[in-house]
Amino acid sequence: MAGHNKWSQIKRKKGALDAKRSKIFTKLIKEITVAAKEGGPDPDGNPRLRLAIQLSKAANMPKDNIERAIKKGEGSEGDYSEVTYEGYASNGVAVFIECLTDNINRTVQNLRTIFNKGNGSLGTNGSVEFLFDRKGVFVIKKDHEKQLDEGKLLLELADGGAEDVEFEEEYVTVYSAMEDFGALQKKIEDLGLKLESAELQRIPQTTVTVEDPEAVRKILKLIDALEDDDDIQKVYHNLELSEEVLAELE
């Protein structure tokens, strides 16, 4: 798919995506809390909570942590605001940020500091949002003990609302329109496939290619700093890495 981020694939393959366990737990706990607050504590009737629990178990989060996060969502403690921010890294790379925060002033101050240190700029609402399409993105881990019939799987996924499917050595990535997210998630679950992740992502319509490896390192350092902030759940950007630059980074 146009705009699919090669850097994300590399990080996933190397097992480096959200490698710090404390950080990944913090973000998952927030997601569980908000999901339970919005849709109730029963995962059977709350798809967002069900998925958050699945991802937490995949990250080896203790059961007690999951249960506490659900109870927190039921009570008054789970008072997080879902907010988004937009800006630019250097070289005109657009950045879109999704946050869950209990202190917006703190979050904004942290964002300004990160952008300023990274030679970027925090923008106004709507400054980059139009550059991204919101899509459902499902990453399925292949089961090598079972023979995968790609043709049959394509038909099944298309029946569930898939727009595009990418087959890799270890993973299958499936894209859907935002409004088909729930139906496709259910289809994947019904097929008994192992979901590595399932989320609404912002896919860039066009990308920016930066050929200078040092400039790319600085941009990725800014993005990593954003991803490392506890209030930030997701960071999207439209940086495209050429094969030559990827070779320099590895």
Q: What pLDDT does residue 14 have? A: 42
Residue 1 lies in a domain: no
- Verify that 143 and 194 share a domain, yes or no: yes
Q: What pLDDT does residue 3 have? A: 44
Task: Give the DSSP per-residue string, the chain.
Answer: -TT--HHHHHHHHTT-TT--HHHHHHHHHHHHHHHHHHH-S-GGG-HHHHHHHHHHHHTT--HHHHHHHHHHHHSTT---EEEEEEEE-GGG-EEEEEEEES-HHHHHHHHHHHHHHTT-EE--TTSSGGGEEEEEEEEEE--TTS---HHHHHHHHHHTTEEEEEE-SSEEEEEEEGGGHHHHHHHHHHTT-EEEEEEEEEEESS-EE---HHHHHHHHHHHHHHHTSTTEEEEEE-EE--HHHHHHH-
User: Nearest 5°: phi and psi at 177?
Assistant: -65, 155
The answer to whether the CB of 98 falls within 8 A of the CB of 111 is no
Q: Tokens for 65, please give them.
A: 């942590």
- Verify that 211 and 98 share a domain, yes or no: yes
Boundary residue ending a domain (74, 95, 120): 74
- Verify that 67 and 181 share a domain, yes or no: no
Q: What pLDDT does residue 151 have? A: 92
Q: Tokens for 208, please give them.
A: 């920016």
- Verify that 123 and 142 share a domain, yes or no: no
- Verify that 199 and 212 share a domain, yes or no: no
Amino acid sitting at position 189: E
Cβ burial 116-154 (10 Å sphere, 16+ → b, else e): eebebebbeeebbeebbbbbbbbbbebeeeeeeeeeebe
- Verify that 127 and 217 share a domain, yes or no: yes
Q: What pLDDT does residue 18 have? A: 46
Q: What pLDDT does residue 100 have? A: 92
Whole-model pTM: value is 0.79
Residue 153 lies in a domain: yes
- Verify that 182 and 69 share a domain, yes or no: no
- Verify that 150 and 31 share a domain, yes or no: no
- Verify that 114 and 228 share a domain, yes or no: yes
Q: Tokens for 9, please give them.
A: 């694939």
Integer-rounded Cα Rg, in Å, for the chain is 18
Residue 119 lies in a domain: yes
- Verify that 197 and 212 share a domain, yes or no: no
* Domain of residue 64, CATH code: 1.10.10.200
The answer to whether the CB of 219 falls within 8 A of the CB of 235 is no
* CB-count burial class (<10 Å; 0-12, 13-18, 19+) for 47: middle
- Verify that 210 and 231 share a domain, yes or no: yes
Q: What pLDDT does residue 146 have? A: 78
Per-residue pLDDT of the chain (250 residues; tens, 9 = 90+): 544 555 455 455 444 444 566 788 888 999 999 999 989 999 988 888 988 898 888 788 899 999 999 998 887 665 888 999 999 999 999 999 999 999 999 999 999 999 999 999 999 999 999 999 999 999 998 887 778 889 999 999 999 999 999 999 899 999 999 999 889 988 998 998 888 888 889 999 999 999 898 999 999 999 999 999 999 999 999 999 888 888 887 6
Domain limits at 60? 6-74
User: Nearest 5°: phi and psi at 144?
Assistant: -75, -5
